[in-house]
């Protein structure tokens, strides 16, 4: 991460930890993980994630190996580690976005967190796969479910970054997380960022439209961003009716539109 972002997190270390604990507790309760209350393991997980902001790959892998072994010995599960990373992501964003920022600064921070988070998270998944592939396969769906968070950018403006393929079970989770996020953040506008979705077929597109309709009943407008030319062409070829859904090629373009809407 950039030095300025790291410095901000260091200056707000206790606040970051408190927010992380609160978010992790809520997430693990939701997932019905009853064994997460091992305080020592929980603290080590936070420190491992926090230190990975500045560690080299070799240092991260060595430290994570030790932590993963302790977690397995304490009968913890892969979804616990995943929940820890996702909670840290949300807590860090909340810290970095708490001041009044310009649109470009908000976008930079959002992208900076993603650029740090995704490689580290992928290393974690890869290491767990190498160490215990069968366990990973059984719990892979949990990782998918946690990959559709709703993140608040401004008051009443949120984003749901989507990564990977979208199947029937995941559509259900996306809809559930979307509605919970709209309620939690009182969102008037939610960006559904599909930059990380490789293929958007008929089923996935219809599922997203149904999710946006449900959010609309709660008073939120959903905007599809990250629409690449090939996905736009696919949607046209599939005959998907997107008249009720605004689309933009990037989150940046969507933010320009949203700010104009909120200012009118």
Report the distance separating Cα 160 and Cα 52, nearest Å. 24
Between the CA of residue 7 and those of 11, 95, 155, 181, 237, what are the distances in Å? Answer: 6, 11, 25, 29, 48
Report the distance separating Cα 53 and Cα 250, nearest Å. 26
159 and 106 co-located in one domain: no
**pLDDT of 254:** 92
Domain count, the chain: 2
**pLDDT of 157:** 93
Q: Which domain holds residue 241?
A: 151-263
9 and 112 co-located in one domain: yes
Q: 103, 126, 145: which is the final residue of a domain?
A: 145
Spatial strand order of the sheet with 246-248 comes to 151-154, 157-163, 189-196, 221-225, 246-248
CATH of the domain at 216: 3.30.750.24
Going residue by residue through the chain (264 aa), what tens digit of pLDDT does each one get? 567 777 888 889 999 999 999 988 887 777 665 555 567 778 888 888 888 766 655 555 566 666 666 666 555 556 777 788 888 888 888 888 776 654 566 677 777 777 766 666 666 666 655 655 555 555 555 555 456 789 998 889 999 998 888 888 788 889 999 999 999 999 999 999 998 888 888 888 888 989 999 999 999 999 999 999 888 887 788 777 667 788 999 999 999 898 887 776
14 and 100 co-located in one domain: yes
172 and 97 co-located in one domain: no
Full-prediction pTM beyond 0.85? Answer: no
Shortest CA distance to 89 belongs to which of 185, 178, 20, 184? 20
**pLDDT of 58:** 53
**pLDDT of 135:** 53
61 and 157 co-located in one domain: no
139 and 161 co-located in one domain: no
């Amino acid at each position: 991460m950039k030095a300025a972002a790291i410095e901000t997190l260091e200056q707000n270390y206790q606040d970051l930890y408190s927010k992380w604990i609160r978010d992790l507790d809520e997430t693990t309760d939701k997932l019905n993980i009853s064994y997460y209350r091992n305080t020592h393991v929980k603290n080590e997980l936070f420190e491992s994630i926090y230190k990975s902001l500045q560690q080299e790959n070799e240092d991260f892998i060595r430290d994570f190996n030790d932590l993963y072994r302790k977690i397995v010995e304490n009968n913890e599960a892969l979804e616990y580690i995943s929940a820890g990373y996702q909670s840290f992501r949300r807590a860090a964003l909340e810290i970095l976005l708490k001041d009044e920022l310009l649109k470009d600064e908000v976008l930079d921070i959002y992208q900076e967190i993603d650029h740090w988070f995704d490689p580290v998270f992928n290393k974690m998944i890869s290491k767990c796969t190498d160490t215990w592939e069968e366990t990973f396969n059984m719990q892979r769906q949990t990782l998918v479910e946690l990959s559709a968070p709703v993140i608040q950018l401004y008051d009443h403006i949120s984003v749901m970054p989507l990564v990977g393929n979208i199947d029937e079970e995941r559509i259900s989770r996306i809809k559930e997380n979307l509605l919970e996020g709209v309620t939690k953040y009182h969102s008037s506008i939610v960006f559904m960022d599909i930059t990380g979705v490789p293929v958007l077929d008929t089923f996935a597109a219809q599922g997203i439209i149904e999710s946006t309709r449900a959010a609309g009943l709660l008073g939120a407008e959903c905007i599809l961003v990250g629409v690449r030319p090939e996905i736009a062409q696919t949607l046209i070829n599939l005959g998907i009716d997107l008249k009720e859904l605004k689309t933009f090629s990037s989150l940046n373009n969507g933010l320009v539109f949203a700010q104009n809407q909120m200012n009118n």
